[in-house]
Amino acid sequence: MSSSDLLNDTAHRYPQRAALVSGALRLSYSELHACVTRCAAGLLQQLSERGLGPGARIGILMRNRWEYVVAMFAIARAGCVAVHLPARFAQGELDYALQKIPLQMLLLDAGLPLQAPGQPGVVCVPADLGAEADAAFSALLSCKAKLPQMPPVQADTPGAIMFTSGTTGRPKGAIQPVDGRDLSLRIAQSDFQLHQRDVLVVASPLYHAAGLYTWYQCGVLAGACAVLMPAWDPAQFMRDCARLGISAAFAVPTQLMQLLRHAEFDPAKLVSLRLVVFGGAPCEPQQIEALEAALPQVRFVQNYGQTETGPLFSQDHADRLQNRDAIGRPNALAEIRLMAEPGREAAVGEVGELVTRGAHLMLGYFDDPAPTAEFFRYGDGWGATGDLAVRDAQGYITLAGRSRDIIIAGAVNIYPAEIERIVRSHPAVEDCAAFGVKDGLWGELPVVAVVRRGVAPGGLMQAKQLAAEISALFEGDEIGRHKRPRAVHVVESLPYTPAGKLLRGALRERFPVLPGAE
């Protein structure tokens, strides 16, 4: 089932049920369906005028707003490929992504501080969420042309591209099969148990797989109503719960901690809330216990998944009573194993890499054969998550480490290479290593250790001056500000194994906290 089929089916079952709340706008499922149909016809009409048609790549670069939802479904209905561009991209990251993945059209939120100069077929949506759309976008929404009957598509046809950071330090586009999210939605729904009476808040960005597929589209499958938040705001969330009767939310641990620590936090404002799904980053058992104590009526479900795989398994209160450190048991609908090595599954208690296979997997990375081969390196259709874990006798999975040294800050993956690429551009840097240190709010924050080289007859640049200049490298628009290192440690050398592998764990032990946080 494609995204288009998903909406068709739900609109047929629940035509008058509320589907979407975005600011002052409210749409029923029948109204959303009609709007999507007109927009799909408009997209095909504009593409046809340029000699293009189904299969065209159409970018979406927007905040969480109703136009995003309409565009996403309309692109699927038109038989095109939606390229979900992160609204948190810095200009340099966006420029690279647009060069890497050529688009035939781009739907651009004019309220974002990003530009797409020279990009063909740019259609702007208004900066003000309540303003009238410009002529081009209005033409899409009001198109009266009849939508042609779309031919059936193969299961492995690309349906969307979602971005994930890469070990090369550049964004990679994970190609999602047109119906590959169907299994992901069924996995999520079996774990979350959403129903048609639910009112979901969608605060996680729709350009992220968790926000769009694991959460929003799971709500559509259930026939629930979605309330879009353009950005996370704990105070607004509490107001929306009281005003709209929000019953379910998806959040990252950082957002939940912000809610719990907010000056206006009041459980009485959240009495309608029955379910909170959280994921994207590890959540400490003590944090989960604090949340359950503050909101005892809420079922807190931890979810694990990736852009490349979709959701794989969850953990609820009963699971935590069995193993508080585990992240859950694999969902019965997903084929998951722990591989000690290619061809050999890890025994109980033995560390292995989490791998999975099935229709829920991405097809590969767009125009990136080497990372694609690395993802499928186990063969026989298995996709490697890069996460190391151990399974106990009851089947509970506990993460044991990350084979890729990702820094997870506020549920956003930051790869060390993204930071190191910029640090190495300084002529006084001989070697460097980025790593994460624990933070009570964000989970982790990035820092970098630097080895100096002599750049002048006078010898090495002073450590404080070098640290300041490296920090200044991140003030531009080449990389998102959330990825800038919060500290620069100038060291004599970096720790390596005899085989030459960098020991980032040793750096985390040496610098466990940010300066001034002791």
Half-sphere exposure of 473 (CA within 13 A, CB side): 24
pLDDT at position 254 over 50: yes
For residue 185, give Cα distances in angstroms to 28, 180, 264, 360. Answer: 21, 9, 35, 9
Number of C-beta neighbours around residue 110 at 10 A: 15
pLDDT value of residue 499: 43
Task: Find, among 165, 162, 158, 163, the residue nearest to 180 by Cα.
Answer: 158
Give the SS3 label for residue 160.
strand
pLDDT at position 473 over 50: yes
pLDDT value of residue 454: 64
> Domain 407-510 class?
alpha beta
pLDDT tens for each residue of 285-317: 888 999 999 999 999 999 999 999 999 989 999
pLDDT at position 457 over 50: no
pLDDT value of residue 345: 92
pLDDT at position 375 over 70: yes
Q: Render 95-122 in DSSP notation, one character per residue.
A: HHHHHHS--SEEEEETTSS---TT-TTE
Q: Which residue has the tokens 């900066």?
A: 127
Separation of alpha carbons 125 and 22, rounded Å:
15
Mean local confidence (pLDDT), 96-114? 93
pLDDT at position 459 over 80: no
Structure tokens at 113: 């501080």
Instruction: Provide the Cα torsion 160, 165, 171, 176; round to 10°.
Output: -10
User: Measured in whole angstroms, how far is the alpha carbon of residue 64 from the centre of its chain?
Assistant: 13
Task: Find, among 351, 518, 490, 422, the residue nearest to 507 by Cα.
Answer: 490
Separation of alpha carbons 40 and 42, rounded Å:
5
Q: Render 273-310 in DSSP notation, one character per residue.
A: --EEEEESS---HHHHHHHHHH-TTSEEEEEEEETTTE
Q: Which CATH number fits domain 1-179: 3.40.50.12780, 3.30.70.3040, 3.40.50.720, 3.40.640.10?
A: 3.40.50.12780
CA geometry: angle at 198 spanning 60 and 214, to 5°?
Answer: 40
pLDDT band at 493; cut points 50, 70, 90: confident
What would the 3-class secondary structure string for 348-404 be? CCCCEEEEEECCCCCCEECCCHHHHHHHCCCCCCCEEEEEEEEECCCCCEEEEEECC
Positive or negative, the CA dihedral 425, 430, 431, 432 is negative
Quote the pTM value. 0.81
For residue 6, give Cα distances in angstroms to 76, 218, 219. Answer: 10, 10, 11
Contacting residues for 409 by C-beta, under 8 A, at least 6 apart = 281, 436, 439, 442, 443, 444, 445, 446, 482, 483
pLDDT at position 16 over 50: yes
pLDDT at position 244 over 90: yes
Do 374 and 348 touch, CB atoms closer than 8 A? no
- The residue extents of the domains of the chain are 1-179, 407-510
